[in-house]
Amino acid sequence: MLPGNGAAAEAAAILEEPYEAINIRNFEKVPQIQGISEELRQDIRVVAQVLPFKSNRYVMDHLIDWDRVPEDPMFRLTFPQRDMLDPEHYEQMAALLASGADNAEIRATANEIRLTLNPHPAGQMEHNVPMLNGKPLQGMQHKYRETVLFFPTQGQTCHAYCTFCFRWPQFVGMEGLKFAMREGELLRDYVEEHPEISDILFTGGDPLIMKTRILRGYIEPLLEPGRAPNISTIRVGSKALAYWPHRLITDDDAEELLELFRKVVDSGRQLAMMSHFNHPVEVEAPPALEAIRVLRETGAQIRTQTPLLKHINDDPDALARMWRLQAQTGCIPYYLFVARDTGAKRYFELPLWRCWEIFREAYSKVSGVARTVRGPSMSATPGKVQVLGVTEAAGERVMVLRMLQGRNPDWVGRPFFARYSETASWLDELEPAFGESEFFYDRELNELLVGGGSPWSKDELALPLVGG
């Protein structure tokens, strides 16, 4: 049920509260932290040397249930946990801190550990970076034909960090692992050179961490008359609705931001806010509901997505509750992802068969308007691969998979089969069914990767456009 006047009054009071970041330097000064054990505080100190840690007072005061800590999902979503590191890495870092090691030694050890955590899964750094006039555009990715990702330099942080985040290398200060670009004109030049592109996704980090005047500098060049006519949808990937709804309501340039979004819609393009909600508590918060309302009034679509995360939302009832409320508020449930093979994956991962079971049960609990959600989906090297189910075929227990997106568009929609596995939690842990030596896409994928990645990321298209 949607909130009434009481919730509106509560939202108004919360929205007057100023932003305050909580991180490794100040978290022990926060009153709620005084109530947790020294063991938990030590775990935060140790793990935060390796994985990024940033929360804020809105999350701490209004989303975390401190009576349930350490089991509370929102606490686990925003505060580092001991088991997010391998035991040997945890002990190595704990020993350094106990010995009084200097910052340089701690940083060097942390960087060594980070490099073991698959910082850029699915070939992001090696195979997705596009070229323009023979030069790589390091702040962009072009993996799928119709969509290009843009990482504005000033948007490479967030109002708070999720402990599962697959973009964690953006936040740890290792510049060689970071995507970022300042030049909005290069983005426009690139999409004009590639008429197959219809969608631009501004991502990060979180683009809404930027002041509106900076975000405007990236978006408005795309709206100039006669420019980038192939662009029909501008997407913004953001967690602000969950972690800092004030951004759309009471921040000092909130109205400018809404006006920018109206300008996109008035240009005849779609504005799609790709909103990250991982738990129903985030959606149910009165400030989030108010932010959803004002954002939708601009004409923007809100599409929601989350990975399926052990300890956080691996509960069909919680997922169904979240999707149901999203649909009630006019949001479009979009994706349920499999936790990606990077960072603290070992803490969050579930076997693929279990991901499918949870998705299927949650999906069965909502009406058709919330069944727009697709999943469980792996954003893997060949593309987005959906687990459709587990069944028997030709006397073999198999997993049924489907390519939702692919480096080659000809792969999209094709079902294929893998041998059933009790333990596999990612595509590369599966084997082809029925005695096949490879999946249908493997040979062509290898050829694409040898050539640098997706054909769309090159100066010259290697594959024809549909109908061309």
- Condensed to tens digits (0 to 9), the pLDDT of residues 16-45 reads 999 999 999 999 999 999 999 999 999 999
Nearest one of 60, 68, 50 to 29, comparing CA atoms: 60
CB 154 within 8 A of CB 210: yes
Q: What sign has the CA pseudo-torsion 366, 371, 372, 378?
A: positive
Q: Is the pLDDT of residue 178 over 60?
A: no
Please report the pLDDT score of residue 465 as a whole number: 33
Please report the pLDDT score of residue 9 as a whole number: 81
Q: Is the pLDDT of residue 468 over 50?
A: no
Read off the pLDDT of each residue in 189-211 and give the average, rounded to a whole number: 95
Average pLDDT score, the chain: 91
Please report the pLDDT score of residue 462 as a whole number: 38
Task: Indicate the angle between helix axes 87-99 and 38-47, nearest 10 degrees.
Answer: 100
Structure token digits, residue 416: 């294929």
Buried-exposed string 145-174: b where 16+ CB fall within 10 A, e elsewhere: bbbbbbbbbbbbbbbbbbbbbbbbbbbbee
**Percentage above 90 pLDDT, the chain:** 78
Superfamily the domain 121-457 falls into: Aldolase class I (3.20.20.70)
Read off the pLDDT of each residue in 361-378 and give the average, rounded to a whole number: 98
Q: Is the pLDDT of residue 230 over 60?
A: yes
Please report the pLDDT score of residue 457 as a whole number: 57
CA distances from 6 to 9, 11, 149, 286 (A): 5, 9, 40, 9
Spatial separation of the C-alpha atoms in residues 375 and 157, rounded to whole Å: 27
Q: What sign has the CA pseudo-torsion 291, 295, 297, 302?
A: negative
Please report the pLDDT score of residue 204 as a whole number: 86
- Condensed to tens digits (0 to 9), the pLDDT of residues 400-412 reads 999 999 999 999 9
Q: Is the pLDDT of residue 282 over 80?
A: yes
Q: Is the pLDDT of residue 466 over 60?
A: no
Read off the pLDDT of each residue in 147-170 and give the average, rounded to a whole number: 85
Task: Indicate the angle between helix axes 254-266 and 286-297, nearest 10 degrees.
Answer: 40
Confidence of residue 49 (pLDDT cuts 50, 70, 90): very high
Please report the pLDDT score of residue 183 as a whole number: 74
Please report the pLDDT score of residue 450 as a whole number: 84
Please report the pLDDT score of residue 74 as a whole number: 98
> What ranges in 246-373 are assigned the alpha helix state H?
254-266, 280-284, 286-297, 316-328, 345-348, 352-364
Confidence of residue 1 (pLDDT cuts 50, 70, 90): very low
Q: Is the pLDDT of residue 122 over 90?
A: no
Please report the pLDDT score of residue 174 as a whole number: 53
How much is the CA Rg of the chain, to the nearest whole Å?
A: 22
Read off the pLDDT of each residue in 113-124 and give the average, rounded to a whole number: 71
Q: Is the pLDDT of residue 325 over 80?
A: yes
CB 179 within 8 A of CB 141: yes
**Residue for token pair 């009434």:** 4
Domain boundary assignment for the chain: 16-114, 121-457
Range scoring the smallest mean pLDDT among 229-233, 274-278, 448-452: 448-452
Residue 211's contacts (CB-CB under 8 Å, 6 or more residues apart) are 253
Amino acid identity of residue 392, one-letter, is E
Buried-exposed string 7-25: b where 16+ CB fall within 10 A, e elsewhere: beeebeebbeeeeeebeee
- Condensed to tens digits (0 to 9), the pLDDT of residues 382-391 reads 999 999 999 9
Buried-exposed string 208-220: b where 16+ CB fall within 10 A, e elsewhere: bbbebebbbbbbe
